[in-house]
Every structure is written in structure tokens, then in C-alpha cells.
Structure 1
Amino acid sequence: MAAGRLAAADPIFAGIESRAGPLPWPVRPRGFPGLLRGICAQLVSNEAAFAIWRRVAALPGATTPEGFLALDPARVGIEGGLTRQKVAHGRALAEAILSGTLRLEALDAMSDEEAVAHLCQVRGIGRWTAEVHLLFSLERPDVFPSGDLALQAAAAHLAGLPARKDARAMAAMAATWAPHRAVAARLLWHHWLHHTKRATLDPA
């Protein structure tokens, strides 16, 4: 099992599940709804992201590209709780899918880096959003969103570091956890949610 191999290779992973409980395995929808959820989660706490996503998903048709574009942007902002910028990013995503600029059906044949680059061509999708989508929706086994602040904080806490590593240093640290970096990310999120006593188990 990947979690056991990680614990054997790096002591920071030892004991996470004994303290925090069995590792949960949330999976998100592929395609537009999964990517839209990632946009909802940008630059907010995980609790806020989950609340916003529930509001957006409750809007009629909002989880399809056609339905999202049919909604009044002001309504999405008011009832969904999205900023004007995030509404614009959701619309750009929907338009890219419908125009064929974003070829979601081709992602499975791409490497992780190719898939990240393809997703990042859409306005409003950066590396973090792309990597989170590959991890939770496509279940890629070796993706690690090194720019995620919770992952940085969890790694620093478990390793006894005085401060969080930045994204580049975090990526270098995570390189030693290949080819199980997605499981490493899930374990670190699991630890941090438990350590900080977060109200939701949704990690990103």
C-alpha cells in the first residue's frame, strides 16, 4: 500500500492514520463540475470553498457548461457566493469546453505536465487548480500541488521545520515521495485537517 511505503521511506508519514483515522478518499467529478469546484476553492479556506460549492451546485444547470453560461452572472455571484472574477473564470471554462479549446477527453492520454499545461491555457485555471483536478477527479497517482498552503504547513509541522517551505522547495521535498505523491498529499491534508480541527474533511 502506498501509505505504508511512504511511512517506511519518510518518518513524517508514520502515525498519521493512527492519530487522524483511516485516510479518506474523496473523488470529485471529472470535467466541468470538477474544474468549476476548483475555481470555487481558489484563495479561500476549505470550509468556505465547500460552502460556496454547495451554493453554486444548487443553481439550476450550473454544473454543465451550457447551464452555467445560461445563468445570469449576477445571480451566480449573489446566490452562488462567487466573486465577479470567479464567475468570469467559470464562464471562460465553459466557453473553452464548448468551443473545443479545452479537450477534456484528451487529458487521459497526456502526461501530468502536459495535462497541467493544457488546463492552464484557460483563463482562471492556474497550476494549483489543474493539479487538484488531476489528483481528485482523474486520480493521477503522482501529482502533488506544491503551492498548496495547507500541504506546506502540514509538511513543516510534521518535519519540525520553523516555517513553511515555498512551492519550489516543497516540490523538491515531495520529489522524494514519487511515485506516490498524490497519496502523500492526501496524507498531509488528512493530518492538517485533524491537527487544526477543521469542521470539514474536504481537503482543498
Structure 2
Amino acid sequence: MTYVSRILMGLKSPTTPTVFEALIDSIIEQQISLNVARSLEYRFIRKFGLKFQVEKKDYYCYPTPDRLAEIPLEEFRSCGLTSRKGEYIRDIARNVVHGELDLEILKKCSDTKKILESLCSIRGIGRWTAELTMIRGLHCMDAFPADDIALRRMISAWYFNGEKISPSKAEETAMQWGTYKGLASFYLEVAEHCGIKPTLV
């Protein structure tokens, strides 16, 4: 990790403008590869987001809770999402619109455990989805999605010679990164995307 950090020094983990956006993206990415997830998110935003033009070029805003609250489930399926994910997204959007769910208030909470519990209390949100949301939407760098198969594979490549490891082993390894476990996981993801290979240097 020291080697990766040195190469990627100064790289900052991106944060979404709203917790809602991070949560919806994390739901879309549940149990699928990152490449497939990016393709679905691309379609999702262009189908439901507000379009505007700048110098004849199209840009899209992230879909708002108001917009998503009214979407029929079959419309979500047309983007490649499952009916269940469509239900989760629409239910969350409706709860936000009706004032039953305030995701942005989580930005005022400094207790990672309480944030995790709050997110996991939402229908369709498990620990992995909550932790991913915390990293992306709240910049909680001490959150660590140990259940992420791809992340475990990356940790295995760097620390265990490619041997398959359990979530608990990944968590144990990440403990050495302290309160920057989430940032370290982001660095590993970028390193893989950039083709940076494990080395003893």
C-alpha cells in the first residue's frame, strides 16, 4: 500500500454532491461488476436526469428524488435494473420527498457506527451498500466494504499472493490503514484500473 500511495500521491477520493446520489449509485452497483454498473448508471442518468445544453453539447443532471419517486418500475427495468432495485430506489426517493427520510442530515454526524446503522435501517440497504455510500457520499474514510469481492481480490493480490481471502481477513488487513481504510480501498481500485501491479519495491 505504501508503494501504491507513493505513485498515487495527492489523489483524492471523489465525493458525490448529495448522500442520495451516493446511495442510489451504490444500490445500482449491488452484486454486479463495476464495468456493468457504470454502463447502467450512464443509462439511468440519461433516461431520468434533466438534460441541458452548453454550446450545443448535452449534459445531464443526476435524477432528483421528486423525479424518481414517480417512475413506474418497468421504466427502471428498461435501464437494465432489476425490479427489486427499482423498488428500492423508488421507495427511497418517495421517503425523501415525503420527508420521512433525511439523508443529508447524516453529514452532521461524526459517529461512523451510527451512520452505518441509520443507512442499514433503510429497506434494501445492507452493510456493503451502506459503507460504499459512506465513502462516496459522506467522505467517511474509515468505512471499509470488506464484503466487496473485487476489493478482497485486490487485497489478496497485494498481500496474499492471490490467495482467496475472507471478508474478516480483508478487514484484519485493512486495520493497519487506520482511519483511512476507505481511502486505501479507493487507491487499490485506481491502481488496478491503471494497471499498477503488486511489487516489492
Which TM-score band applies after superposition, normalised by the shorter structure? Answer: 0.7 to 0.9
Q: Counterpart of 2:104?
A: 105
Q: CA RMSD in A?
A: 2.4
Q: Counterpart of 1:68?
A: 68
Matched to 2:46, the amino acid is: A
Shift of 1:75: 1.5
Q: Counterpart of 1:48?
A: 36
Structure 1 residues 196 and 17, CA gap change in structure 2 (3 angstroms): closer
Q: Counterpart of 1:141?
A: 141
Distance (whole Å) between structure 1 residues aligned to residue 159 and residue 118 of structure 2: 34
| Aligned positions, number | 184
Distance (whole Å) between structure 1 residues aligned to residue 130 and residue 113 of structure 2: 10
Moved over 6 A (4+): 18-22
Q: Counterpart of 1:90?
A: 89
Matched to 2:88, the amino acid is: H
How does the TM-score come out when normalised to structure 1? 0.79
Shift of 1:22: 7.0
Distance (whole Å) between structure 1 residues aligned to residue 85 and residue 193 of structure 2: 25
Shift of 1:58: 1.3
Distance (whole Å) between structure 2 residues aligned to residue 36 and residue 101 of structure 1: 17
Distance (whole Å) between structure 2 residues aligned to residue 105 and residue 18 of structure 1: 34
Distance (whole Å) between structure 1 residues aligned to residue 104 and residue 8 of structure 2: 36
Shift of 1:89: 1.0
Matched to 1:48, the amino acid is: V
How does the TM-score come out when normalised to structure 2? 0.80
Q: Counterpart of 1:202?
A: none
Could you say what secondary structure the match of 1:176 adopts?
helix
Q: Which runs of 5+ in 2 are unaligned?
A: 50-61
Structure 1 residues 76 and 162, CA gap change in structure 2 (3 angstroms): closer
Shift of 1:142: 1.4
- Alignment identity in percent? 26
